[in-house]
Amino acid sequence: MAGMNCLDAKTRAQVIRCLVEGCSIRATVRMTGAAKNTVVKLLADMGEACARFHDQHVRNLKVRRLQCDEIWCFVGCKRKNATPEKKAEGWGDVWTWVGIDADTKLVVSYLVGGRDGGWAHDFMQDCASRIRGRVQLTTDGHKAYLDAVEDAFGIDVDFATLTKIYGAPTEEEQRRYSPAKCIGCDMKTVIGKPDPAHVSTSYVERQNLTMRMQMRRFTRLTNGFSKKAENHAHAVALHYMHYNFCRVHQTVRVTPAMEAGITDHVWSVDDLVALLPKPVVGPSRIDQELFRKALGETA
């Protein structure tokens, strides 16, 4: 199997292509021939590069309608089953906060962490720092948003919450592991004058479904979940970079980044790989032995 030092750009692109299409680490190893540790290391390097690029370039956006939500997953095991030692290592429930532009379908901001007020504050501050002008914002009924939005946007926002009301699940729904039927929505205006016709979280919830389909770590009822919090965050960063810049959205007919005016072309996986530092290819063991023999013969 190929090690990290001898992965060429073509093999790197092959590995990344497998990861962004929902393959697990072990499946990627089987298909590409790269070592498992090599794939994990490449994922970490790629995740850091994607997060850095997103932070630097996805800014100064004109967003009319922003939808925010948070999606649940876990690292290692669910929080109720994690020991104190494992919790200290990052095991337990983990939430991914997502903000999406309803018009361009661009993921404006994302954050991997907890679900309390501190994480909500950091997330909304990041959203506000990337948007210019007034924006209409819709979230679910999570109370942590209330103070976080006011602190981040002040009064320069039209903010409404939309809480779905579910009926009691039937026995069949419980057996099929499916959510209860939604029987209504409760809309509340919090700040400003949001347009009721555009108070929705449909696009961000659909994006959450895309996450579960495109990242093996988010697939329910499997053993493909993340074992380290850092790797989980790297996978999320890679996913959103690929979603924003590489995937042509069926609604806007271009990538979200193109629709938002951040780039003028559809990125390939090779373009993602180009964000990484150049690989250092060291001399092989055979070359080293031949070199030593040559030295011995000339001495």
pLDDT digits 0-9 by tens, 196-238: 999 999 999 999 999 999 898 898 878 888 999 999 999 999 9
Res 62: pLDDT: 97
Q: Which of 10-14, 87-91, 272-276, 282-286 has the lowest mean pLDDT?
A: 282-286
| pLDDT tens readout for residues 47-84 | 999 999 999 999 999 999 999 999 999 999 998 999 99
- Higher-scoring residue by pLDDT: 216, 184: 216
CATH node for 58-267: 3.30.420.10
**Residue ranges of domains in the chain:** 58-267
Residue % of the chain over a pLDDT of 70: 87
Q: 154, exposed or middle or buried, with CB in 10 Å at 0-12, 13-18, 19+?
A: exposed
Residue % of the chain over a pLDDT of 90: 74
How does strand 92-101 pair with strand 107-113?
antiparallel
Res 282: pLDDT: 54
pLDDT band, residue 297 (cuts 50/70/90): low
| pLDDT tens readout for residues 25-57 | 999 999 999 999 999 999 999 999 999 999 999
The H or E element containing residue 75 is strand 65-75
Mean pLDDT over all residues of the chain?
A: 89
Return contacts of 2-7, CB within 8 angstroms, 24+ apart.
Answer: 2/32, 2/33, 2/34, 2/35, 2/38, 3/35, 3/38, 4/35, 4/37, 4/38, 4/41, 4/42, 4/279, 5/279, 5/280, 5/281, 5/282, 6/279, 6/281, 6/282, 7/34, 7/38, 7/42, 7/279
Residue 17 to residue 142: CA distance in whole angstroms: 35
For the segment 259-273, the average pLDDT, to the nearest whole number, is 96
The residues with which 113 forms a beta bridge, in sequence order, are 95
Res 50: pLDDT: 97
Res 299: pLDDT: 47
The residues with which 67 forms a beta bridge, in sequence order, are 100, 138
Q: Taking 60 as the threshold, does the pLDDT of residue 290 lie above it?
A: no
Res 4: pLDDT: 47
Res 134: pLDDT: 96
pLDDT band, residue 151 (cuts 50/70/90): very high
